[in-house]
Amino acid sequence: MDQVKIFDTTLRDGEQSPGCSMNLKEKIEIARCLEKLKVDVIEAGFAIVSPGDFESVKTISETVKDCTVASLARATVKDIDAAWEAVKGAADPRIHVFIATSPLHMEYKLRMKPEEVLEQAGKMVAYAKKFCSNIEFSAEDATRSDLDFLSRVTEIAIANGATTINLPDTVGYTTPDEMRHLIEYVRAHAAGSEKAIFSVHCHNDLGMATSNSLAGVLGGARQIECTINGLGERAGNTALEEVVMAMHTRQDTYNVGTRIDTTQIYRSSKTVYNIIGQQAPLNKAIIGKNAFAHEAGIHQHGVLANKKTYEILTPEAVGIVANSLVLGKHSGRHAFSQHLEELGYALTKEEIDRCFEEFKDICDKKKNITDADLEAIVTHHTGNLIPEVDENGYSLDWFQTSTSNFTTATCTISLKKKDEKFQAVALGDGPIDAAFNAIDQIIKPSEHTFDIFSINSISEGKDTLGDVTVKISSHNKTFTGRGLSTDIIEASVNAYLTAMNRLAVFESKSKDGE
């Protein structure tokens, strides 16, 4: 059985999705998830774009040991130099060089003649090859390119040392039949094509990214470029969980395998959603809450008789486990730490201490603690643990609200900042609005907009933890905060404070010229 490589670009293309920017700590957390998931290639970023991107690619390259780490680079010397400097510390570094090949892009974006593009592609692939043997070449907007021209540029890239050829559907324009034909045509007409692995990178503008990627595999592609949860520009990219489970479930059709540990899919998905402050749509394939739910009576009857009647894959296959009672208020630190290890979390002592403190606090408020609760505690605290924010930001001391359906809500709040305490009172349309207004009186934040305010329950029951996400925008940047508590007002206050503290750190760094 042939193996299909999984090239994950969550940290590059996925982060380009509006509102999905991540800090270095969050990127490293995702990279570690991807390593446990056993993806073949992690595209860690676009090194030339900014010092922050360069630093994240470099750090991930030095951290990850069981995956190839790649950096994207335009077909220019400056880009390739930056990419190599960022990935040279990786166990298996890859430079990913791209140039546009469609008539539209060549004329209006590059302002280059086709022959100039061919020359630049060959020259820059050869230049990148001087640094490392693992070179990927991408023909941007391949699906709107002339097939004979695409075959020529592929032939030149391979002749100059490219080991992977990516033919992307950059704008989500193509169809499955066209994608399969494109891969078959170029493989048949580009001399030396047998020396390279062909790859597909599909966008979801017409909702066909997964089907187009799988069609590429049928045409002979042996690498799929994708992202966790299908994040990416505009309507997103091919969703990793979808193509992997499609090939896993329908081996009779695709006759290929991957090295992916499918039991890590759900955790990877949850980690990414938590970091960007979003929730999976209920009907999201593979990892949505309703993916394995059956409400129709005829379906329920069938599943009870034999799960295969309506379930073509099991929840356990992607790492979804039942909400079992795991720990209680009398559980000690050792049992707590050991159970987190069993769930797959490798935390520092500082992170374990913070999570254990939160766990004991929740035990006093909530009768049953489940795996879902523990995962929420861990992702909340490890995601929010940013030293410069903790040391210099505001934290909640106490609050009191008064509200009814016939009076204006009032909130009195006390915040701490190092050894100082600040208090304010404010009115609002409800207790949460009043609390946010009181916080604004103390912090006096820059002008900002609310992009997202969401409250989600972690488990079942009236004493469930409320997981609140707040996203604000200022200075053309997005700042995310999360709060977790059985009291949704407390969770909302903590989420808002985290987002505001992150905004304050950004403004401080900007003022200092960092």
Q: Indicate if 233 and 378 belong to the same structural domain.
A: no
Q: Indicate if 343 and 430 belong to the same structural domain.
A: no
User: Where is the domain boundary, 248, 276, 304?
Assistant: 276
Q: How many whole angstroms separate alpha carbon 257 and alpha carbon 248? A: 7
Q: Indicate if 92 and 156 belong to the same structural domain.
A: yes
Q: Indicate if 349 and 413 belong to the same structural domain.
A: no
Residue 306 resides in a domain: yes
Q: Indicate if 314 and 231 belong to the same structural domain.
A: no
Residue 98 resides in a domain: yes
Q: Which residues contact 145 (CB under 8 A, 6 or more apart)?
A: 101, 102, 103, 139
pLDDT reported for residue 476 = 85
CATH number for the domain harbouring residue 154: 3.20.20.70
Tokens of 224: 């799929």
Mean pLDDT, contiguous 10-residue spans, the chain (514 residues): 95 85 89 96 96 96 97 98 98 98 97 98 98 98 98 98 98 98 98 98 98 98 98 96 97 96 94 86 90 58 60 86 66 83 79 86 79 80 56 89 93 94 96 96 92 84 85 89 90 93 85 63
pLDDT reported for residue 16 = 83
Q: Indicate if 311 and 395 belong to the same structural domain.
A: no
Q: Indicate if 310 and 241 belong to the same structural domain.
A: no
Residue 282 resides in a domain: no
Three-state DSSP at 71 gives strand
* Structure letter (DSSP) for residue 514: -
The total number of residues written for the chain in this structure: 514
pLDDT reported for residue 296 = 47
- The H-assigned helical ranges of 3-146 are 24-37, 51-63, 77-87, 103-105, 114-129
pLDDT reported for residue 181 = 98
Q: Indicate if 364 and 461 belong to the same structural domain.
A: no
Q: Indicate if 361 and 407 belong to the same structural domain.
A: no
Q: Indicate if 101 and 203 belong to the same structural domain.
A: yes
* Structure letter (DSSP) for residue 460: S
pLDDT reported for residue 72 = 98
Contact 154, 145 (CB under 8 A): no
Q: Indicate if 408 and 265 belong to the same structural domain.
A: no
Residue 283 resides in a domain: no
CATH number for the domain harbouring residue 419: 3.30.160.270
Which residues on adjacent β-strands are paired with residue 370?
Answer: 325
For residue 348, give its domain range. 325-384
User: Where is the domain boundary, 340, 367, 384?
Assistant: 384
Q: What are phi and psi of 492, to 5 degrees?
A: -65, -45
pLDDT reported for residue 305 = 64
- What's the total number of domains in the chain? 4
Residue 284 resides in a domain: no
Q: Indicate if 235 and 338 belong to the same structural domain.
A: no
Among residues 238, 261, 246, 224, which one has the least CA distance to residue 33?
A: 261
pLDDT reported for residue 380 = 74
Tokens of 360: 């004991």
